[in-house]
Amino acid sequence: MAEAHPVGFQWVVEAQQRGAKVIHVDPRFTRTSAVADKHVPIRVGSDIAFLGGIISYVLENGLDFRDYVVNYTNAATLVSDRFEDTDDLDGLFSGFDPDKRTYDPTSWQYDVEDGPGEQSTAQADDSEETQAQRESAAGLQHEAHGMQVEGKPRRDETLQHPRCVYQVLRRHFARYTPEMVEQTCGVSQADFLEVCRAWTENSGRERTTALVYSVGWTQHSVGVQYIRTGAILQLLLGNMGRPGGGVMALRGHASIQGSTDIPTLFNILPGYLPMPNPDQHPTLTDYVDSIRNPGSKGFWSKADAYTVSLLKAYWGDAATPDNDFCFDYLPRITGDHGTYRTVLDMIDGKVSGYFLLGQNPAVGSAHGRAQRLGMANLDWLVVRDLFEIESASFWKDSPEVATGEIVPEECRTEVFLFPAASYAEKEGTFTQTQRMLQWREKAVDPPGDCRSELWFFYHLGRMVRERLAGSTDERDRPVLDLAWDYPVHDEGALGTEGAQAWGEPSAEAVLKEINGFDVATGRPLSSFVEMKADGSTAGGCWIYTGVFADGVNQANRRKSRHDQSFVAPEWGWAWPLNRRILYNRASADPEGRPWSERKAFVWWDPDKGEAGEWTGHDVPDFEKTKAPSYRAPEGSEGVEAIEGVDPFIMQGDGKGALYAPQGLIDGPMPTHYEPVESPFRNPLYGQQANPTRKQYRRDDNQLNPAPPEEHSDVFPFVFTTSRLTEHHTAGGMSRYLEHLAELQPEMFVEVSPALAREQGLEHMGWCHVVTARSAVEGRVMVTERLRPLRIEGRTVHQVWMPYHWGGGGLVTGDSANDLFGISLDPNVLIQESKVGTCDVRPGRRPTGAALRELVTDYARRAGIVDGVHPRVVTASADAQARSLAAAETSDDDQEGQ
Amino acid sequence: MSGSTDRPGSGAEVQHGGSPGRSRGSSRGGDRVMVPEADFTSYYGRPIVKAAPWERDIAYYLFTGGVAAGSSLLAGGADLTDRPGLRRAGRIGSLIALLLSVVALVHDLGKPSRFLNMLRVVKLTSPMSVGTWILTLHAPFAGLASAAELVGMLPTPWQRGPVRLLLRLGRPAGLVGAVTAPPVAAYTAVLLSDTATPAWHSAHEELPFVFCGSAAAASGGWAMATAPVAEAGPARAFAVGGAAVELLMAHRMESSMGLSAELMHTGKAGTLMRASKVLTAAGAAGALLGGRSRLLSVVSGTALMAGSLCTRLGVYEAGMASARDPKYTVVPQRERVERGEQVRYQG
Amino acid sequence: MIGRNSLFGPLDPAPDAGYTDAPKRKGFFTDTSVCIGCKACEVACKEWNDVPENLFEMLGTSYDNSHSLNANQWRHVAFIEKPASKPAVDLGMPSVGAPVSEVHEDDKPDFQWLMSSDVCKHCTHAACLDVCPTGSLFRSEFGTVVVQDDICNGCGYCVAACPYGVIDRRRGPEGDPKVGIAQKCTLCYDRLTDGQRPACAAACPTESIQYGDVEELRERANARVELLHERGVMDARLYGNDPEDGVGGTGAMFLLLDEPEVYGLPPDPVVTTKDLPRMFTRAGMAGTALLVGAALSFVRRRP
Amino acid sequence: MAESRSLLPWPVLRQLTSGDLLGRGKAVRSRRTDEVEPRTTTADRVARSVCPYCAVGCGQKIFVKDEKIVQIEGDPDSPVNRGRLCPKGSASKNLVTSSLRETTVKYRRPHGTEWEELDLTTAMEMVADRVVKSRRDAWQELDEKDRRVRRTMGIASLGGATLDNEENYLIKKLFTAMGAIQIENQARI
């Protein structure tokens, strides 16, 4: 955290000075470790084993925060008797279809009162649907939609019943003993137990523990399950929804949170509404019901209002009740259209035009070579950036030009490099990692022809609409009916003729549309509760409704921190409805009293308002007047079904999910799988890596062999990449700046003294790192901050590299992202680019075509053959058969990868 | 525009910031540059104090300053004791040395155009400021005397009008020049010692004597070489006296320099100091024995001057070396701390 | 006026430099125990003062590629990777024993990565200021030491005089207006004149760099080092906070976690001006000897 | 400077008269030193902004003088960073005023080996034409399973995490209306 989020780290240092203990678990001793009280070196890719071990420590010793767990999590809920765990099925959960490599989650469901097994269809999707969900990263939607739970699941408040979630969890993690953790993660038992004690002793009524991770954690083939493990542990110890607790994700870009809330992503619409697909969402009603699943609790029940408001914001008056508010205008997705799928399609020549908007995939995305080869096979490419980044100049100075794979004279891609306005030359909002929107005032006009994205896309849209104006073609209706007339200001301010004179669209007008307004009066809405499904309201993103409450740009509030509470609610605006800690109802006990005075945050004040109200330091993440004693009437659903003791108001059962019966494609509970490229056999069971992971089995995307395949010794070392404080992600905003570039001027590779001796590497000499994809070189930095670990009786060396370099800027070097292949987490299709195996050799890498010969030679020795791809499912055949038996669906579905 | 511009200084040893490039200490392959030698700790072997940014011009100025001062003294003495040949040699030597001195001083400045800022203040705590005012006092008079000397050599019909006035001023100017000469020779020692450079600072007790002795030896040598042998007796005496003081005090200086003393025997400084001893001793011997022969006077005079120059260069190099290696700063100070004798205000 | 301690010893430098109603002396307290080596201070300083590039080269000395304080580097973050088995105090001397911490062996962190942001010390007795012949280096009303780069003629004397090796004469890059001129931290004198905090102190994420009144900072430093000792960090010690030390105490003081020289700091720095009177006396004697010698050369015998 | 400036031109005289005999401070100040003012005071205006680098969201104050950015530093009022910045945030001025920034449109023709200049108007026209053409050429009313999808597979887009919410909103709205679905950003790499 001190490396990539130093200013956020001030709060950790301050807490430490007040006596907090800071533990840093990281493969490498970083600047965070330097100040932390304890550094725990861990083998890359074994986080679930480590955290699972702590969960087991908590459950075996009954150290969980019992009142919290019983009332606020689904610990007491009983699981269907047809559920079988990984220990019985050699690493698979029940319901696994080896052909489609997905689960049918029917056997995972809760044991519902109207008889086990007769779960209504709404509750369980069959394995084909989950395959479709993997293809469309549905996890991202489910995660936000929460589970759909219909009917009253059986509960055992004493948590003794063998099939209650608490016991299922305990049995699941029973094998994660301190010895297992030591063997799998390379963490000594002493260190491991010290972390367990620190975490448990610092949780409960009086104290909370915070879990902080950087987004690299999500870049694993089991990334979502990493975060699930952290969430389960924090729920067991009662740290969720409370001050000083929770799970904090530290994102790397200014507005990554914003770019998933208002997503330039293929699988979701603003507000996490799913992009419709032809099978599940033929009509608007089907679409809405698929989100809210009638019968379930939670705020998703108003999905119809959110969807109609969005469609009204998109197509304005053209959206009327009789045409389902132009629902048919939405294009349909039919599977995986993620960036990696698109890049591979580019290589195959299926994509014509490509926009790069402040992103540099040539060095920023995994498998740099594929990214660049893809771009070399486009018709046209538009790059909008501050500098001439590698993705703009790939055709003349990329590594592939050096190896001859891209010959400038033969590369047909037409490239437009548009200069972009910087953050100080345009106004608008970022959404920070804590869901806070902050409005930036414009300082100066952009220089020369630099323009903002707002300018570029508003005018591009205008020009496209002009070109399609006369069209009677049905396909052009969505473009022509689009509500696209935003007020424009500063006409002619930056130039007199042609496009230079075009004005800048008003960012505030766009933010008002995002906030939502009453169609008739134009009055801005102040809460998504006001959204209607009858087309009388419009709103670009329901979770952002309230950012323009009372017609005031709440994101532009800057009341000084000296004049408000430590929660600082009047600085910027956090979604939803300015709640700064989500699910903060959980910071009060079932009767609504704070768990302790020290940790009071939100509580029930019986004599406030008519019959009592929730109050406290933050906006309560709960209906203001719903008393803790409120119990839902029989058969109620949606918001009404949320009871006074259900803090997790987005979940189908209002409880924190220790066990997720659905919504996750690779299992209801996290379990340890080895990374896709690992030198070790999975110590727990036959299934080596995540069986449901997304693979692109192509010859230009070969992976290093891992046990049980042979030749994994050709790439004996484990490597990972991460950030330096001085640079920013792939370097596009730091390698071009003298004051940053001179601080870390050269690409380097960190190795332990032991590895240096073993491979003959000399400090400040050169070395090159080789994988099945490519080889990159860097200066050697021999340091004790990396130490070999003892795993399963063998010593494993870990290599670390920064990934900030590329061919452009004041300081150039090889890009570490060239080393990674593409294998994705099944839930959200994020690539595994934080762990891999490699070889490290002294000296600089070969140049020109010789580079490809080196890589090909390694592939040959590693037994990598074109057309042949290692098995994904390595569990025993018997286990596969038994797991499949639990699946409900018939077997005639077609082959799917 | 190609993506990467060629970075000035990339790969270059020298930093724009000024101090000499990274001193890598003795980095052994595979092992990090943490503790170069076992006997003291430092930050990757990098200097703690900074060597003065002065090029060799300053060492040359030490020499020419000494010659100027000594020559003024000899010229003054010769004028009083009616030795015109010696006076002329002295005054001309003083003139040449002063001109060379000014050139060396101005050339070494980072911003020569602001040379006159030296006269902006009188900083008693700055030997360079005090020295500047000493020179400002000494140079005009010495210069005047020398001018008078030159003019005196012109054919007589030219010696009318203002020129005669100049001739009359020659003596008084020369005497003032002589009286103000010793500070010129001595202040340069304080200038070096009043720094954090270990070798120079630790030698502050004896360095003034070394420099004054060296000034006498050099100026005596100049006079022996240029003045008529008959009149050069005082020059010879002056030179021998100076040489003796220089050699003696140089020897005693080493005992008070502590660890830095080793620098007087090793490396460039060591060679220069050895050369200076040989040359000065030989020159002095020549001055003592060969008072009669013209050739011997010239040879020993030149030897004395060369010896003085080597002394100045040797002291310069020793100082620079003592600043560049952190050992000479850390070890003495650490020893003081270990003995509990840190320098503290005694009230 | 020349006060009793004008050349050495405890002193309030601003009144000693002629200011009649000087504000309280300002300075830094750098608590290296919370420094995360992020170099925000280096960048903020360069942005505010337009300090050009320094080296642009990887030095292989952990994450320090800035080498040292100099004319193009007014803030310098040091990185020291202390291996697990730190060799016993290695001075070859029968050491009396540096303050070896009493904390039990395995509680001590097995590996330490020390970081510290070094800066000009703004000494009470500033050798650079004393030796400056043009009056370019001056004592500001805030007690800080600042170069007037419209006066400095680049004589370089201050570079040799500084006991910490901070100030330097700028050599490059080509075309920089201040080449040839002495350059160092000004404690953001221009910002101070308007009551603002120096750029590095304002930026420092963990407030390892604290700006304030020197007296108050000295109290804060003492309290901090005591707290650390209570928590078993016995290696914590203060540096530059003692008004009776060799430079009269510094305006920028530090809390270090190891010997000063490990960070490249002198263990017992002394301002050279302390010995100046002695030097002038010795020079006077030598000059007189020269004069007498000259006279004697003429008197002793007729040629 | 609270102290009044002496009228004597020559600092040596001021040393004698102003109680700064050793010439350490009051006597040796130059005029420029006496009149120094920080850029943050002489700026024309201050824009309240947010650092563009990571997602912590540190508040920044951007000082502008004569329509040029002269200083960017932390916003002391912000509860997020309390006026502090990391090295990248502190280098924001270096980012926006860098001489390496592109300020004109550059164009590379197919099979070209060098950049060519292009004026903004022509560039926008060319891109609009290509968007319309690629959209039409790769239009899919029905997919390979005859399911109605109304989309184009010809246009892809990558980027958004460094952009504003308002920009992302227009980008998603326009591409969705045009039927382009291969829209992605850094949230997924």
* pLDDT tens per residue, range B293-332: 889 999 999 999 999 999 999 999 999 999 999 999 999 9
**What pLDDT, on the 0 to 100 scale, is given for residue D6?**
74
Same domain, D58 and D14: no
Please check whether residue A236 is in contact with residue A266, taking contact to mean a CB–CB distance below 8 angstroms.
Answer: no
Take residue A434 and report the two structure tokens written for it. Answer: 């804590």
CB-count burial class (<10 Å; 0-12, 13-18, 19+) for B270: middle
Residue C8 lies in a domain: no
Are C262 and B43 an interchain contact pair (Cβ–Cβ within 8 Å)?
yes
- How many structural domains are present in chain D? 3
Best of D106, D142, D162 to substitute, by most chain A Cβ atoms within 10 angstroms, is D162
Please check whether residue A812 is in contact with residue A805, taking contact to mean a CB–CB distance below 8 angstroms.
Answer: yes
Q: Look up the CATH number of the domain holding residue A760.
A: 2.40.40.20
Interface chains of chain D (3 or more CB pairs under 8 Å): A, B, C
CA B181 – CA B188 distance, rounded (Å): 12
Residue C111 lies in a domain: yes
Best of B122, B125, B133 to substitute, by most chain D Cβ atoms within 10 angstroms, is B122
**What pLDDT, on the 0 to 100 scale, is given for residue A142?**
46
Residue C208 lies in a domain: yes
Q: Which residues of D touch A437 (CB under 8 A)?
A: 165
Residue A403's closest CA among A856, A878, A872? Answer: A856
Which residue in C39, C146, C203 is closest to D84 by CB distance? C203
Take residue A485 and report the two structure tokens written for it. Answer: 């007339």
Look at strands C168-169 and C182-183 and give their pairing.
antiparallel
Residue A294 lies in a domain: no
DSSP one-letter string for A148-196: ---S-B-B-TTS-STTBHHHHHHHHTTT--HHHHHHHH---HHHHHHHH
ipTM above 0.85, yes or no: yes
Residue A744 lies in a domain: yes
Take residue B202 and report the two structure tokens written for it. Answer: 């630790």
Please give the average per-residue pLDDT across B78-99, as a whole number.
93
Residue D65 lies in a domain: yes
Please give the average per-residue pLDDT across C248-263, as a whole number.
96
Please give the average per-residue pLDDT across A540-569, as a whole number.
95
- The 8-class DSSP code of residue A720 comes to E
The Cα-based distances of B170 to B80, B146, B150, B175 in angstroms read 12, 7, 10, 9
Same domain, C153 and C114: yes
- How many structural domains are present in chain C? 2
Please check whether residue C138 is in contact with residue C24, taking contact to mean a CB–CB distance below 8 angstroms.
Answer: no
Residue C222 has pLDDT above 50, yes or no: yes
- Average model confidence (pLDDT) for chain A? 92
Best of B6, B19, B105 to substitute, by most chain C Cβ atoms within 10 angstroms, is B19
Same domain, D29 and D70: no
The Cα-based distances of A722 to A12, A829, B281, C61, D118 in angstroms read 20, 20, 68, 20, 38
Residue D168 lies in a domain: yes
Are D130 and A380 an interchain contact pair (Cβ–Cβ within 8 Å)?
yes
Are B30 and A783 an interchain contact pair (Cβ–Cβ within 8 Å)?
no
pLDDT band at A358 (very low <50, low <70, confident <90, very high): very high
Same domain, C174 and C95: yes
Q: Which residues of A touch D102 (CB under 8 A)?
A: 385-388, 417, 419, 450
**What pLDDT, on the 0 to 100 scale, is given for residue C97?**
32
Same domain, C118 and C211: yes
DSSP one-letter string for A266-287: SSEEGGGEEPP-TTT-SSHHHH
- How many structural domains are present in chain A? 1
**Which three-class secondary structure string do you get for A681-700?**
CCCCCCCCCCCCCEECCCHH
Interface chains of chain B (3 or more CB pairs under 8 Å): A, C, D
Q: Domain of residue A771: give its range.
A: 694-861
**What pLDDT, on the 0 to 100 scale, is given for residue A147?**
66
Asked if A14 reaches chain B (Cβ–Cβ under 8 Å), the answer is no
Same domain, C200 and C295: no
Are A763 and B5 an interchain contact pair (Cβ–Cβ within 8 Å)?
no
Q: Look up the CATH number of the domain holding residue C243.
A: 3.30.70.20
Element of type H or E holding A250: strand A247-250
Q: What are phi and psi of A756, to 5 degrees?
A: -60, -45
Q: Which residues of A touch B32 (CB under 8 A)?
A: 763, 782-783
CB atoms inside a 10 Å sphere around CB C165: 27
Q: Domain of residue C290: give its range.
A: 271-303
pLDDT band at C273 (very low <50, low <70, confident <90, very high): very high
Dihedral in degrees, nearest 10, Cα atoms A177, A179, A180, A182: 130
Please enumerate in sequence order all residues whose Cβ is within 8 A of that of A412, keeping only pairs 6 or more positions apart, or say none.
A377, A379, D110, D111
For residue B321, the one-letter residue type is: A
Are D161 and A253 an interchain contact pair (Cβ–Cβ within 8 Å)?
yes
DSSP one-letter string for A634-658: TT--BGGG--TT---TTSTTSSB-S
- The 8-class DSSP code of residue C266 comes to -
**What pLDDT, on the 0 to 100 scale, is given for residue C98?**
32
**What pLDDT, on the 0 to 100 scale, is given for residue C2?**
72
For residue A410, the one-letter residue type is: E
pLDDT band at A636 (very low <50, low <70, confident <90, very high): confident
Could you give the percent of chain A with pLDDT greater than 70?
Answer: 95
Please indicate whether residue B340 or residue B13 has the higher confidence score (pLDDT).
B340
Same domain, C180 and C279: no
Residue A233 lies in a domain: no
Residue D1 has pLDDT above 70, yes or no: no
**What pLDDT, on the 0 to 100 scale, is given for residue B160?**
76
Q: Which residues of A touch C84 (CB under 8 A)?
A: 784
Please give the model's pTM, rounded to 2 decimal places: 0.93
Same domain, C266 and C289: no
Taking only the tens place, the pLDDT of each residue in A62-71 is 999 999 999 9
CA closest to C44 among chain D residues:
D90
**What pLDDT, on the 0 to 100 scale, is given for residue A257?**
95
Residue A131 has pLDDT above 90, yes or no: no
Residue A787 lies in a domain: yes
Greatest Cα pair distance in chain D? 99
Residue D173 has pLDDT above 90, yes or no: yes
Residue A88 lies in a domain: no
SS3 at position A17 = helix
**Angstroms from A205 CA to nearest CA on chain D:** 27
CA A871 – CA A676 distance, rounded (Å): 11
Residue D28 has pLDDT above 70, yes or no: yes
Are D56 and A412 an interchain contact pair (Cβ–Cβ within 8 Å)?
no
Same domain, C90 and C231: yes
pLDDT band at B115 (very low <50, low <70, confident <90, very high): very high
Are C44 and D19 an interchain contact pair (Cβ–Cβ within 8 Å)?
no
Residue B346 has pLDDT above 60, yes or no: yes
CB atoms inside a 10 Å sphere around CB A897: 13
Look at strands C209-213 and C26-31 and give their pairing.
antiparallel
Same domain, D7 and D31: yes
Please give the average per-residue pLDDT across A274-281, as a whole number.
92
Same domain, C41 and C105: yes
CB atoms inside a 10 Å sphere around CB A596: 15
Residue C1 lies in a domain: no
Please indicate whether residue B240 or residue A146 has the higher confidence score (pLDDT).
B240
Residue A410 has pLDDT above 60, yes or no: yes
CA closest to A760 among chain B residues:
B30
Residue D110 lies in a domain: no
Q: Look up the CATH number of the domain holding residue D73.
A: 3.30.200.210
Please enumerate in sequence order all residues whose Cβ is within 8 A of that of A183, keeping only pairs 6 or more positions apart, or say none.
A683, A791, A792, A793
Residue A313's closest CA among A569, A572, A119, A511? Answer: A511
Best of A10, A250, A743 to substitute, by most chain C Cβ atoms within 10 angstroms, is A743
Please check whether residue A257 is in contact with residue A435, taking contact to mean a CB–CB distance below 8 angstroms.
Answer: yes
Residue A569's closest CA among D117, C272, A561, A747? Answer: A561
Residue C7 lies in a domain: no
Residue D170 has pLDDT above 70, yes or no: yes
DSSP lists the bridge partners of residue C29 as C210, C253
Please enumerate in sequence order all residues whose Cβ is within 8 A of that of B81, keeping only pairs 6 or more positions apart, or say none.
B234, C298
Residue C4 lies in a domain: no
Residue C174 lies in a domain: yes
Residue D163 lies in a domain: yes
Take residue D99 and report the two structure tokens written for it. Answer: 């001489």
Taking only the tens place, the pLDDT of each residue in C13-66 is 999 999 999 999 999 999 999 999 999 999 999 999 999 999 999 999 999 999
**What pLDDT, on the 0 to 100 scale, is given for residue A113?**
73
Residues 48-77 of C with CB under 8 A from A: 52-58, 60, 62-63, 65-66
Residue C151 lies in a domain: yes
CA B174 – CA B180 distance, rounded (Å): 10
Q: Domain of residue D157: give its range.
A: 138-188
Q: Which residues of A touch B3 (CB under 8 A)?
A: 388, 390, 393, 397, 807-809, 812
pLDDT band at A118 (very low <50, low <70, confident <90, very high): very low
CA C86 – CA B130 distance, rounded (Å): 49
CA A800 – CA A806 distance, rounded (Å): 17
Q: For tokens 């070798």, what's the residue? A: B199
Domains of chain B: residue spans and CATH: 57-338 (1.20.1630.10)
Please check whether residue B210 is in contact with residue B66, taking contact to mean a CB–CB distance below 8 angstroms.
Answer: no
**What pLDDT, on the 0 to 100 scale, is given for residue A487?**
96
**What pLDDT, on the 0 to 100 scale, is given for residue A150?**
64
- The 8-class DSSP code of residue A325 comes to G
Are C265 and B48 an interchain contact pair (Cβ–Cβ within 8 Å)?
yes
Residue A752 lies in a domain: yes
Best of D6, D14, D18, D22 to substitute, by most chain C Cβ atoms within 10 angstroms, is D22
The Cα-based distances of B27 to A428, B34, B35, B36, C59 in angstroms read 52, 8, 9, 7, 12
Please enumerate in sequence order all residues whose Cβ is within 8 A of that of C106, keeping only pairs 6 or more positions apart, or say none.
none
Residue D21 has pLDDT above 90, yes or no: yes
Please give the average per-residue pLDDT across D159-169, as a whole number.
94
pLDDT band at A114 (very low <50, low <70, confident <90, very high): low
CA A585 – CA A139 distance, rounded (Å): 25
The alpha carbon dihedral of C244, C247, C248, C250 has a sign of: negative
Asked if C42 reaches chain A (Cβ–Cβ under 8 Å), the answer is yes
Q: Which residues of D touch A274 (CB under 8 A)?
A: none
**What pLDDT, on the 0 to 100 scale, is given for residue B194?**
97
Residue A265's closest CA among A352, A343, A339? Answer: A339
